[in-house]
Amino acid sequence: MAARDRFSKKLTCPQCGNMGFAEASEDDHSSRPHPAFAVDRMPRGFFPQRASNFQETYIIRCECGRKFPFRSRSEAQN
Ligand SMILES: [Zn+2]
């Protein structure tokens, strides 16, 4: 069993400015081919649009309709 790394991340909608903290987890080693990323709790006003093993391709939908990845590729890791 791989250890799970749990963390929270501030999500900000680039369209309407809605903001909240998501609680997420993934397997401890981010270099794994399948980190099994999961959002454990979504902040109010945000919804999972498309689940993915990876933060960069996990798509969040804001209540305003804007969709964006959990973590952008240009964003520094933590
Ligand atoms: Zn929004």
| pTM to 2 decimal places | 0.84
Ligand 1 center from residue 19 Cα (angstroms): 8
Cα(34) to centroid(ligand 1), Å = 29
Return mean pLDDT, the chain: 91
Between the CA of residue 67 and those of 4, 14, 34, 47, 60, what are the distances in Å? Answer: 27, 9, 23, 9, 6
Q: Residues whose CB is under 5 A from ligand 1 (ion)?
A: 13, 15-16, 18, 62, 64, 66
- pLDDT surpassing 90 at residue 71: yes
Q: How confident is the model at residue 3 (pLDDT cuts 50, 70, 90)?
A: confident
